[in-house]
Structure 1
Amino acid sequence: MKIVPNLYFIGGMRCGSTTLNLLLSQHPEIFMSPVKEPMYWRAEMLRATGATDTSGVAWPYAEPEAYEGLFDGVTTERWIGESSHYIYAQGTAELIRAASPDARIIVSLRNPAERLFSEFMRGVRAGHFEGEFESFLRRNATFSDDGRIVDFTPESRIGKGQQARLVKPWIEAFGADHVHFVLFEDLEDHAARTAVEIYRWLGVDDSFVPVAVHTQRSGVPRSRWLMKSLTTRKGPLKAVRRFLPRILREQVRSFVYSKTLERKELPPHLDLALRRFYEPDIIELERLTGRNLESWKVRALEAAA
């Protein structure tokens, strides 16, 4: 490959990835792939294990030529980056390290109980899930008689909340100085300050002021027909968005979601069960990242009750 990115935002899912990608892509010293989540390195990982068909995980960017074409617009930018959820693709850290040993890695972290609930609500919005969150959780986890989660099915989304386990390979591969952690709540409440911290860490002009667009929306459609008509590939919103600048497209999407989605809250007893389950991993995550995650723990929920 002629161009190998030296900046990767690797996730996590439902942790503000679209907002962060937009903050990065606006900076004049940073070139971000115009396609979010090309997942090329996941295809490379599969090829390394002997797989011959990788189109299902990275189509249409599974091959080097297609992936490299995403960076045809690079000129004098200091950082060349892409945003894909590689944090969940075991083995990609080592592959990227071999191709770009000095790369910088950005990871967004979120209270794992809230992250899981947000992913569930997104699935409901998209029509992938039905029913209540508790039914979904009980289909994917084993509960004790006193309401504690003791295990989960390997294919479930619950494991995505074990963020210490997921980030450790990246710290080991690139070193702590080359991995920057962003907390979802900081991104939501202080997007401009979060952007400045990233710019400063990358050594680019930190006086640049980006436009912050929060596209994260958790809720159920007030009207499934309206949501489908607005967001389907052939719907009116998709047709209009093609002709809008990227920031304006995301602002339109955020506005539509704010008007068509009804926000739901994570049931307190399930919040407690999830926090209890994730707390050992949260403690390890604090050690790995040096960040204070006290608000994610059980005692923070109990104090607020």
Structure 2
Amino acid sequence: MNAPLPLDIAEAAALLRAGRLVAFPTETVYGLGANAKNADAVLSIYETKGRPRFNPLIVHCADLAMAESLAEFSPLARQLAEAFWPGPLSLVLKLRPGHGLADVATAGLDTVALRVPDHPLALALLRETGLPLAAPSANPSGRLSPTSAEQVQRGFAGKVPVLDGGACKSGVESTIIAIDEENLIQLRAGALAREEIERVTGLKVQKAATGAAISAPGMMLSHYAPNAHMRLDAVPEAGDAWLAFGPSAPFAGISRNLSASGDLREAARNLFAMLHELDGTGAKSIAVAPIPETGLGEAINDRLRRAAAPRE
């Protein structure tokens, strides 16, 4: 692996303005960033990740004002942005005329997923560049998302410069919500629980139908996959690595516990890091304990089901 290129904010911003890629931290996972208005730069994201071109990207903004220059905000969209930005909420909205985003960033759709990340380095980078940054997770397409700079460096063999912001505090990607008039549709479960959105808006959040057209990141059936085969809601067997949750019986093999106390927020924070660790042992299979489907458990189970799905 090549030695990582240490970056500060000014150096990272200069690379992005020049059309280069830079991986940077957010509160959810590390993103692989490019100038969202530069088609060649955005194409290099797809090429570097090996990402299908029909899979759109989330565009990160420095603030609500930047986001409003790109998309049309209804009163409901603005309510959500003001309540949860900066934070792990991506809103899928109609593009504004004259938005200037590269068509490849939106996969040719007339909508775009926008968010304002809640990480000081990400916000500083966005302000320094003055640009919206297209940034999917900084990993080879379909593989485990990175929650540390070291995981980014390992995933891309040190070929992508990384702005190191330490470990991500949420550990799973943002929740993606599409707004259709007064209807809220969750396209991807994430680090913001549906119940929180419902509490703020007083509206029921619907879930996108299984097999719905891909209109946002994270909707492909196979995603977030380790090299090892995964068995969900399982009891570990000889030869397995074991991903436990809550109080569990001792296991003689390799194991990690997402949260021994059964804390779903801690489990979400540990999910990708522990899957990286277990996968790195060379285990052929990973058995995963049952996870409650409530609160952040919805996002955790979503990632686990996609990680265990047949590879596309």
TM-score (norm 1): 0.27
Q: Between Structure 1 and Structure 2, which shows a larger proportion of helix residues? A: 1
Which structure has the larger Rg over C-alpha atoms? Answer: 1
Per the normalisation by structure 2, the TM-score is 0.27
